[in-house]
Amino acid sequence: MKMEQEQEAWKKANYHYKTFFKEEQRRVDKRKSDLSQRKAKAKEKASDVEENWNCLHRFYLATSVLGLRHTISGSLERESTRTRIGHEEVEARLKKQYSKLPYSLDTLHTHVNAAREMTRTVEAELDSRFRLLTLVLDARSGDLHDTSRSGTASAATQIVNSHITPAPYAPTHRANDPHDLFRALARVDSMRPPRQMGDGARRAAKEVHRMEENGIAGSSQRTLTEVPPTPKKAPGTPRRGNKPRKGGTPGR
């Protein structure tokens, strides 16, 4: 749609300049015929001819661009070489330069459009990247708004939520939680190459490793103690039926 509009605009501009060129050429031809008739009748002087040619401002501008000047006889002369040039040659030169004008304008228009599209693309890419960085920083600092209830989460928010998971033991998240800060610092230190670690961080890592090897770090964890089984009755205990009753008749 945009390409069609641009082509239509170029067609209108081309048609306008062609019409303008034809009208100007018709006016120049008419003025030339009038001047030739006046020369044939010998009713006007060369000064009048010079004055009539100066009335054409566009033609005077074209001759000044080409480096030409009028002579007393009414012909044109190049200032650099002092050679006389006829009006037909001047018109041929103007037409030759005019034929290159549409191509130059079209090329310039193409370059301007390409630069404009490149600017828009770079601007959109930078906006998306900075928007994603803002969401990541908000998620790490605890300022990310909860959009899961309304169901209007953007694609960038979904990406951030998929990569950053909340801690299971902290259901209520506070803004600027120190635990999140320490976890972020620990994550950054773990991803840092050993060559870029400072002396303090290197000593702390060695101390933690030594404690884990000695079992000190795991001693604070709670363990389940097994309960001993219930002891059985001691052997040799007489049963209740073998004991004689008191006060009873023997033999019963």
pLDDT per residue over 42-78, tens digit each? Answer: 655 555 544 555 455 556 566 665 555 554 444 444 4
Please give the average per-residue pLDDT across 112-118, as a whole number.
93
Q: Scanning the structure block, which residue is given the tokens 């000593």?
A: 203
Q: Are 150 and 175 in contact (CB under 8 A)?
A: no
Q: Scanning the structure block, which residue is given the tokens 């389940």?
A: 224
* Residue bearing the bigger pLDDT, 55 or 30: 30
Whole-prediction pTM value? 0.26
| Strand 76-78, strand 68-70: pairing | antiparallel
Which string of b and e fits 36-63 if b means at least 16 CB within 10 Å? eeeeeeeeeeeeebeeebeeeeebeebb
* Residue bearing the bigger pLDDT, 218 or 65: 65
